[in-house]
Amino acid sequence: VEMGRSCIKIPLRRYNEVMKVINSSNEHVISIGASFNTEADSHLVCVQSKDGIYHTQANSATGHPRKVTGASFVVFNGALKTSSGFLAKSSIVEDGLMVQITPETMESLRQALRDKKDFKITCGKMDAGDTKEYVDICWVENDEEKTNKGILSPVDGKSMEGAQSEKVLQGGDFETEGKIMKCTEVYYFQKDHELSSPVPHQFAKEIAIACNTALCPHLKTLKNSGMNKIGLRVSIDSDKVEYLAGSGGQLLPQNYLNELDSALIPVIHGGMSDPTSLPLEMELIFFLIEHLF
């Protein structure tokens, strides 16, 4: 968000996710979450006061003038009536941006998103002359080098910067003695080629289930040993299959690896059945949590 202009940058590699939003939302509203903007010198935050009222603040980087402000989400509301006298309205809501547009503009926006085309929304009163504000929706090239900056692998401390990642919604819990193991995220490493399309979600899910099954009987011992975050890196090529499992930058003890062998190797070999997806390297992140009551 800048003075007189707001820009929503959508990476081309997120096209499928945008289409999921478009296809699952109702005709009047499109709501999109945003990543933290490292280029902004300030960021919108929503603060709740003691009396329960929410208000918006902009937290600024120390020593920087506030020129570009990052937002956490954008909502396009297509219920603005032409009789309102406005072309469109743009406003700050909590820590995000609300853009009110007419149904006609909403239809054009949806089509532009489907076609991967940039789209400009002019905000302000119809008779306001040149005093307009603009909301620009821009498709940008895959900006991989800035993704997951500062994230390190629990397996061996390898940097995750540049790796494509996605959150994992685990279907069921793997629980032993009040300790629960959950796969929360998977990282995909590209080796001199674009990641296969579609992304191997199902294969990653099968590996997560196999790992959970193998380690579930040992959750109490793992947690007592301080291994609350575990990484499982799987590498597959036409002539090679291997995996590494670790926590805190150290490989898991051999007794855990023996059990992982039995559970993982059949699943990994099954993943080699599709040679078009090879080579493939990915890392799954697991957290060990427990019931407090």
Token couple for 268: 């990994």
In what helix (H) or strand (E) does residue 286 lie, and over which residues does it extend? strand 280-290
Residue pLDDT, tens place only, 172-200: 667 777 788 988 899 988 654 455 445 57
Question: pLDDT tens for residues 19-76?
Answer: 999 998 888 999 998 887 777 888 888 888 888 888 888 887 777 677 888 899 999 9
Find residue 240's DSSP bridge partners.
237
How confident is the model over 76-96, as pLDDT tens digits? 999 899 888 889 999 889 999
Domain ranges of the chain: 5-140, 164-290
Residue 245 · residue 231 · CB < 8 Å: yes
Mean pLDDT of the residues in the chain: 85
pLDDT, tens digit (0-9, with 9 covering 90-100), for 226-239? 999 999 999 888 77
Of residues 68, 86, 87, 94, the one with CA closest to residue 6: 68
* CA distance linking residue 264 with residue 280, whole number of Å: 15
pTM attached to this predicted model = 0.58
Q: What phi, psi does 278 have (nearest 5°)?
A: -95, 155
